[in-house]
Structure 1
Amino acid sequence: MRKIAFLIPALLLAACSQPPAPAEPAADAPPPMDAAAAPTPAVEPAAPAVAPAETSADDARARIDSVLGDAAQYEKVFNAFKTAVVGGDRAAVVEEVRFPLNVAGGRKITGPGEFQRNYETIITPAVVKAVSEQDFGKVFVNQQGVMIGDGQVWLNGTCLDAACTRSEVKVITIQ
């Protein structure tokens, strides 16, 4: 029993001691790597996530038809508005807008005359940039309409009859 009592402190000391330092690597051995620096395995490049323009536009049309209906009308207004804004054709821009128009700051523009008087504060360089860079195939679509840019412009339709068999798509917001 005395021998066991004598060995207990030695065993506890051994259990708490540090492991021996690793031996120095050989001069020609590569340096050790930690887990964070592990090489990444080679991966074949993935196919592009974005489909060709035709398919993308078809996808946008399908989303619009599914959520809002009449994608052809949305595309027509989108193209006309983009051409007018990029070309600086104020009269053509007004033709694609529904009044009252929601604009930045929660204001409403009530008609074409007010729109023309405030054109530069409504069609800002940021709006022109967003519209000019937007591809129809990449528009965001939800029940509120079709979004251009990061929300600078929204298009949506309005029913022209009680059964909503006829509708008219226009720009409803410019921010």
Structure 2
Amino acid sequence: MNKLICAAVIAMLLSGCDKLAPPVPEAGDTPTKAAAPAAEPAPANAATASVPAAENAATPPAHDAAASSVTTDPATDPAADKAVDDAIDDALGDHIRYRAAFDELQRAVAAKDAAAVAALVQYPLVATIDGKKATIKDSAAFAAQYDKIVTPAIADVVTRQKYSDLFVNYKGVMFGSGQVWLNGICKDNACKQADVKVVAIQPG
């Protein structure tokens, strides 16, 4: 009986550790779940953000735009936005955090604010620089290589991405055809605290 209890406790601890770092998606990774339009429009949501669901937060290319040029669509379908919200809630946890990170990343990339983009990245980050894989250890190294990591083509993908067109699966939310991914990073074993970060930047 004691052996069974010990084995159960160890399994729970190991399961919690797996949630600390979601898998890094590969370019062209096909999501298993895409947002589908919902029947009803999204209601206004002023609720306090919650952390990603523990069971789902686990083990996943010349741009001259100014900040004001981030693509916005006045005819955005609220039902399509809600479908993405629901897909994020189901696969990753609280969509409010993801929407905030999505908006912040678009603004920072459009403004070519290397420091702001660097602050949104999870490190270490494996990036492609001059056609070769390189490990970026921290935000200072990222900012120093910003133009080679966030190429004009990748910047264009980020700024043109519509929230309502995001693909979602357990590896996170995908920009374009996989050039950029966002996912929740748990800050504790129980995943009660988490940050939404950029976990992949890569050529499409």
Question: After TM superposition, is the score higher than 0.5?
Answer: yes
Instruction: In structure 1, give the amino acid aligned to 2:138.
Output: G
Moved more, 140-149 or 158-167: 158-167
Question: Which residue in 2 is equivalent to 1:161?
Answer: 188
Q: Distance in 2 between matches of 1:137 and 1:92?
A: 24
Instruction: In structure 2, give the amino acid aligned to 1:77.
Output: A
Q: Distance in 1 between matches of 2:37 and 2:92?
A: 23
Question: Which residue in 2 is equivalent to 1:115?
Answer: 142
Give the TM-score of the pair, scaled to structure 2. Answer: 0.59
- 1:74 and 2:101 are equivalent in the alignment: no
Runs of at least 4 residues off by over 4 Å? 49-52
**Of the two structures, which has the highest relative contact order with CA contacts closer than 8 Å and spacing of 6 or more?**
2
Contact 2:125 2:136 in 1 (8 A): yes
Point out the structure with the larger helix share.
Answer: 1
Instruction: In structure 2, give the amino acid aligned to 1:144.
Output: K
Question: Which residue in 1 is equivalent to 2:165?
Answer: 138
Give the share of equivalent positions with the same residue, in percent.
39
- In structure 2, the CA distance between the partners of 1:53 and 1:164, relative to structure 1 (3 Å rule), is same
The alignment partner of 2:89 has SS state of helix
Unpaired segments ≥5 residues, structure 1: 1-48
Moved more, 62-71 or 98-107: 98-107
The alignment partner of 1:98 has SS state of coil
Unpaired segments ≥5 residues, structure 2: 1-35, 39-75
Contact 2:37 2:79 in 1 (8 A): no
Give the TM-score of the pair, scaled to structure 1. Answer: 0.68
- 1:62 and 2:86 are equivalent in the alignment: yes
- In structure 2, the CA distance between the partners of 1:136 and 1:114, relative to structure 1 (3 Å rule), is same
Q: Distance in 2 between matches of 1:78 and 1:65?
A: 15
- 1:126 and 2:153 are equivalent in the alignment: yes
